[in-house]
Amino acid sequence: MDIKTVGIVGAGQMGNGIAHVMSLAGYNVLLNDVSEETLKSAIDTIDRNLERQVSREKITADEKAAAMARIKTTGALPELGQSDLVIEAATERETVKQAIFEDLLPHLKSNTILTSNTSSISITRLASRTDRPEKFMGFHFMNPVPVMQLVELIRGIATDGETFDACKAVVDKLGKTAATAEDFPAFIVNRILMPMINEAVYTLYEGVGSVSSIDSSLKLGANHPMGPLELADFIGLDTCLAIMNVLHDGLADTKYRPCPLLTKYVEAGWLGRKTQRGFYDYRGDTPVPTR
């Protein structure tokens, strides 16, 4: 299948990044969100990030202008139905994702491929609630999308070869690398990454080290570019907790039990960078550890 038009549901951090790379690769993009303000902010963010690429001579001014011209926005979800490929990039809650696909189904072309950018939820289960499980896949980008080179492609139990090949061709056209993951909780990256972050929170919770000592230890002792608590703030503590709950529920192993301190931060609404407070306080000029 030759994919030319891409519909993206959700214009937040992941959605606007996906729109950015898709438009730059030559796809016509229709970006949807329930919030007009979020759509406007997404276009501003894409414009700013493309301009940064121009200033660094990664792309030309003409390529930026062409990419921006390929992106349209809409608050009406049914308008995405005529896309060749739909990528759902809404919040990491299964009920929300299911409702989006149910609302989309009556408006889809017969050959439209449905995908989800979920970082942990069962692709097979999401696909089973649609009329085309064979044309449904996991299409998991890493954050920030314009920078990160990996895309996890996850087949559900019913996904056919043609659908996988079409999605793999899109990843190739983006200039990114595809990793094929089986449809088990959290796939590859988050199956490994999130327990490490959760263990870092346990290390803080148990008083083994402070926020700064834990992050410094992993940066300087394991050569990580970002400490695990700093990374958790960047990802969003609510997202980290949601993925740990998927792992714990899906694999029924106590080693995936979310740290009570992670739960407490989420209950407080301290979700990391996006709320200005998490394991660090971002309200000043320099991030300050909160513990």
**Residue 28 annotated to the active site:** no
Residue 82 CB: number of other CB atoms within 10 A?
13
Backbone angles phi, psi at 18, to 5 degrees: -65, -45
Set 49, 120, 140, 198: catalytic member: 140
**Residue 190 annotated to the active site:** yes
Set 23, 117, 190, 198: catalytic member: 190
Q: What DSSP designation does 183 have?
A: S
- Quick one: three-class SS letters along 55-116? HCCCCCHHHHHHHHHCEEEECCHHHHHHCCEEEECCCCCHHHHHHHHHHHHHHCCCCCEEEE
Least Cα distance to 163 among 76, 86, 245 occurs for: 86
CA angle 138, 141, 146 (to 5 degrees): 155
Q: What is the DSSP string of 23-37?
A: HHTT-EEEEE-S-HH
Retrieve residue 16's tokens. 């606007």
Set 23, 49, 83, 119: catalytic member: 119
Q: Which positions are annotated as active-site residues?
A: 119, 140, 152, 190
